[in-house]
């Protein structure tokens, strides 16, 4: 089972410099924050969606689909509840509240999708390089990328533990909510302990392979700042300026 987001492709987005991709991620999120009316936000959302699909991230979009729907719906409902306005529409909803809800939902889903686009096109090692280039210390960058990497192995361990407990007759999905919560203890304890043990081995392995030995670390990955990067940054700046003036 593939638990990573990165998709091996040679798309124009993949070829961008990691720093450009980081700026792109930040820029896309800023635009989503700045836009305040539903139509341009919807158009913006669709653009990111198409970009993600075009760069090979359709599988990843499917993986986060439930999450997108959940986050979108809850943002929508919450804002219709608290973002009241003078024009009643339906039951508790006001026209203004609904509009705010739609904006919030599109905004949060744009954030998620921008993240998916970034992770689908950027290797862990590139993220580290990008963060290094913008001035973060190496151990901090490495900790960040290790966290990204540990997530899949954590899930992998969790699945193995679940299988082992099911073999003993445990059915983690049966019964009331309380019963299901109780059934999770035999899953959580071994998962956490196995992960802690693994992290310890990982730390020893890093040390044994000379991690932190040199202040200036070199890299096998070649990253060029090219015409594509310049184009994307200029386009992003133009979009951002447009979004700010229109808002």
Partner 1 sequence: MIDPVLAYEAVRFRYAGGHRSALEEVTLALAAGETVVLLGASGSGKSTLCLAANGLVPHFLKGEFSGRVLVGGRDTREHQPRTFAPFVGVIFQDFESQLFCTTAELEAAFGPENLGLPREEIRRRVDEALARTGLSGLARRMPATLSGGQKQRLVLAAALTAYPQVLVLDEPTSDLDPRGKAEVHAVARALSSGRQATALLIAEPEAEEAAQADRVVIMRGGRIARSGPPGEVLTRLDELSAAGIPPPAAAAITGHLGLPVTIDPGEAAARITAAGYRVRATPHQATPAAAGAAAILAARGLSFSYPGGPPVLDRVDLEIQAGELVAILGQNGSGKSTLAKLLAGLLPTPADAVLIGGRCAREIPRAEAGRRVGFVFQNPDHQIFAETVDAEIAFGPRLQGLDTAAVRERVEEALAAVGLLERRSADPFLLSKGERQRVAVASVLATRPEALILDEPTTGLDHAEVRETMALVERLNRGGHAVVIITHAMWVAAEYAHRIVVMSGGRVIADGPPRSVFHDAATLAAAAIKAPEAAVIARRLGSDAVSVEGLLGALARD
Judged by the rule CB under 8 A, the positions of this chain that interact with partner 1 are 2-4, 6, 8, 123-125, 146, 149, 152, 157, 160-161, 163-171, 185-186, 188-190, 193-194, 197-199, 201-214, 216-222
Q: Of the two residues 140 and 206, which places its CB atom closer to partner 1 in the complex?
A: 206
CB of 114 to partner 1, least distance (A): 21
CB of 152 to partner 1, least distance (A): 8
62: left (phi over 0), alpha (psi -120 to 50) or beta: alpha
Q: Of the two residues 3 and 238, which places its CB atom closer to partner 1 in the complex?
A: 3
59 with 1: CB under 8 angstroms?
no
CB of 226 to partner 1, least distance (A): 18
CB of 245 to partner 1, least distance (A): 40
Q: What's the rounded Cα separation, in Å, for the pair 205 and 200?
A: 9
Which residue shows structure tokens 């492709």? 9
95 with 85: CB under 8 angstroms?
yes
What does the CA dihedral 53, 54, 56, 62 come to, rounded to 10 degrees?
A: 10
Q: Of the two residues 55 and 157, which places its CB atom closer to partner 1 in the complex?
A: 157
Which residue shows structure tokens 């973002």? 83
CB of 168 to partner 1, least distance (A): 5
Here the tokens at position 145 are 């990328």
Nearest Cα neighbor of 5 from 130, 110, 112 is 112
Q: Of the two residues 218 and 245, which places its CB atom closer to partner 1 in the complex?
A: 218
55 with 121: CB under 8 angstroms?
yes
Which residue shows structure tokens 């059915």? 171
Which residue shows structure tokens 């936000």? 41
Q: Of the two residues 83 and 172, which places its CB atom closer to partner 1 in the complex?
A: 172
Q: What's the rounded Cα separation, in Å, for the pair 207 and 201?
A: 10
Q: Of the two residues 134 and 193, which places its CB atom closer to partner 1 in the complex?
A: 193
CB of 189 to partner 1, least distance (A): 4
């Amino acid at each position: 089972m593939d638990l990573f987001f990165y998709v091996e492709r040679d798309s124009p987005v993949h070829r961008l410099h990691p720093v450009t991709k980081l700026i792109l991620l930040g820029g896309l999120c800023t635009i989503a924050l700045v836009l305040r009316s539903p139509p341009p936000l919807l158009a913006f959302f669709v653009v990111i969606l198409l970009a993600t699909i075009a760069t090979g991230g359709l599988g990843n979009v499917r993986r986060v689909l439930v999450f997108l729907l959940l986050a979108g719906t809850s943002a929508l409902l919450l804002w219709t509840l608290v973002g009241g306005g003078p024009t009643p529409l339906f039951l508790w909803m006001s026209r203004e509240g609904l509009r705010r809800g739609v904006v919030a939902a599109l905004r949060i889903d744009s954030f998620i999708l921008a993240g998916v686009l970034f992770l689908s096109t950027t290797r862990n090692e590139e993220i580290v390089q990008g963060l290094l280039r913008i001035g973060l210390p190496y151990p901090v960058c490495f900790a960040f990328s290790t966290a990204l990497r540990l997530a899949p192995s954590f899930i992998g361990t969790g699945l193995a533990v679940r299988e082992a407990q099911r073999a003993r007759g445990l059915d983690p999905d049966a019964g009331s909510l309380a019963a299901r919560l109780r059934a999770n203890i035999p899953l959580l304890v071994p998962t956490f302990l196995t992960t802690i043990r693994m992290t310890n081995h990982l730390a020893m392995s890093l040390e044994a392979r000379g991690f932190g030995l040199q202040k200036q670390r070199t890299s096998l990955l070649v990253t060029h700042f090219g015409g594509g990067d310049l184009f994307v940054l200029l386009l992003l700046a133009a979009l951002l300026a447009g979004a700010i003036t229109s808002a």
